[in-house]
Amino acid sequence: MGWDTRRVLPPDNHVHSEWSYDTFGRTSMVAACQRAADLGLPAIAFTEHLDFADYGEGDAIAGTGITPGWWDAMRPLAVDGYLASIEECRHRFRSLRILTGVEAGEPHLFAGSVRAVLAVGRFDRVLGSLHALAWEGRMVNSSRLLRLLPPAEAMRRYLAEVVKVIEGSDVFEVLAHLDYPRRQWPGTAGAFAESDFEEEYRAVLRALARSGRVLEINTFSPVWPVTLLRWWRQEGGTAVSFGSDAHVPGRVADKFPEAVAVAEAAGFSRGREPTDFWRC
C-alpha cells in the first residue's frame, strides 16, 4: 500500500498538543496524531511553546531592565511528560513519523533558558518565533502593539525585531510565522498588503537566508501571495517548512493544499524523504 507521492501533503512541522500551556484542554497529542493519520500526512512535529515568564542564567533580557512574561497563562514545558507522550504516540501510530520539537519564543532574549531545555532531550524541530516586543519597560504581545501604535508602525517595529531574533540567536532552524501580527491586522487600517512592507520583509528574508535557515509557511496566518516566496528566493532562501500552528486537532495541516500550491508556484518542491523540507 505505497504512497502516491505526488499527492501526499508535506509534514506538518508546527503543531501544539496538551503540553503547550495555551491549548487549555482543547487538544491532545493522540487526537492530533489520529487527524494526521486520517489525512495521510507523512509526519507531524509537536513543537510545544517555550516561553519564559522569568529570566535565567545566560538570558540577554536580564540586563535590559525589561519585565518578561506577557501572558499570565505561561507555564514551563514539562519535558519528561512531553517526551513520554511522544513515545506512546510513536507506538500507537506506526505509519506516522512523529517528530519532537519546540517553538522558542523571543530566543534572542532567552538563549540560556532555551539551551537548558534543549539539553534535556532530542528535539527534531526547533522553531524560533517572535510574539512579544518590549513596550514601556515590559514585554507585550505584538498584536496589542497594533492598537497602541499606528498599525503600519507596529508592523515595521515587529519586522525589525525579527531581524534581531535571527541575528541574535542560533538555537533555531526554522523561523515561524514571520509576520505574526498581521493575523490581528485591524480592518480599520485597510487591507493588509505585503508590498507596503517589502523592504522590511526583504531585510528579514535576507538575514534568514544568510544564516542558512528555513522559512515557515504558517497556515494559521493568511496564506502568502507567491510574491513573498519569490522575495525569499531572490534574497537567497532555499528551503521552506509547512506549519499549521494547530492548537486543536481539526486544524492539523489546515490549508496545506493552498500553501503547497503557492510554494510550487514559487519553484519549491518536495525532497527525497517525506520528512524533508521543501527546496528550490
Question: Nearest distance from residue 125's CB to Zn ion, in Å?
Answer: 11
Contact between 20 and Zn ion per CB under 5 A: no
Contact between 51 and Zn ion per CB under 5 A: no
Only segment of 52-60, 72-80, 137-145, 240-248 that touches Zn ion (CB under 5 A): 240-248
Cα gap 253→35, rounded to integer Å: 9
Contact between 12 and Zn ion per CB under 5 A: no
Tell me, by CB under 5 A, how many residues bind Zn ion: 3
CB count in 10 Å sphere of residue 82: 20
Per-position DSSP letters for 96-138, written without gaps between them? SEEEEEEEEESTTT-HHHHHHHHTTS--SEEEEE--EEEETTE
**Cα 158 to the center of its chain, rounded Å:** 15
Question: Nearest distance from residue 137's CB to Zn ion, in Å?
Answer: 23
Question: Nearest distance from residue 259's CB to Zn ion, in Å?
Answer: 15
Cα gap 129→152, rounded to integer Å: 20
User: Between residues 200 and 245, which has the closer beta carbon with respect to Zn ion?
Assistant: 245
Which residues within the stretch 139-198 sit at the binding site for Zn ion (CB under 5 A)?
Answer: none
Nine cell digits for residue 234: 531572490
Where does residue 248 rank: exposed (0-12), middle (13-18), buried (19+ CB within 10 A)?
middle
Interacting residues of 43 by C-beta distance below 8 A, sequence separation 6+: 11, 12, 13, 36, 96, 97, 98, 99, 274, 275
User: Between residues 23 and 129, which has the closer beta carbon with respect to Zn ion?
Assistant: 129
* Cα–Cα distances in angstroms (integers) from residue 135 to residues 88, 140, 159, 202, in the given order: 42, 6, 15, 25
Identify whether the C-beta of residue 244 lies closer than 8 Å to the C-beta of residue 253: yes
Question: Nearest distance from residue 4's CB to Zn ion, in Å?
Answer: 30
Only segment of 165-173, 234-242, 243-251, 254-262 that touches Zn ion (CB under 5 A): 243-251
Which listed residue (13, 17, 113, 129) binds Zn ion by CB under 5 A? 129
Which residues within the stretch 87-126 sit at the binding site for Zn ion (CB under 5 A)?
Answer: 103
User: Between residues 111 and 132, which has the closer beta carbon with respect to Zn ion?
Assistant: 132
Question: Nearest distance from residue 172's CB to Zn ion, in Å?
Answer: 12
Nine cell digits for residue 66: 525589561
User: Between residues 43 and 233, which has the closer beta carbon with respect to Zn ion?
Assistant: 43
Question: Nearest distance from residue 180's CB to Zn ion, in Å?
Answer: 6
Contact between 245 and Zn ion per CB under 5 A: yes
Nine cell digits for residue 221: 496566518
Q: Which residues pair with 104 in a beta bridge?
A: 50, 128
Question: Nearest distance from residue 103's CB to Zn ion, in Å?
Answer: 5
Identify whether the C-beta of residue 185 lies closer than 8 Å to the C-beta of residue 146: yes
Only segment of 146-154, 155-163, 225-233, 241-249 that touches Zn ion (CB under 5 A): 241-249
Question: Nearest distance from residue 48's CB to Zn ion, in Å?
Answer: 9
User: Between residues 103 and 179, which has the closer beta carbon with respect to Zn ion?
Assistant: 103
Residue entry with cell 506577557: 70
**Rule CB under 5 A: which residues touch Zn ion?**
103, 129, 245
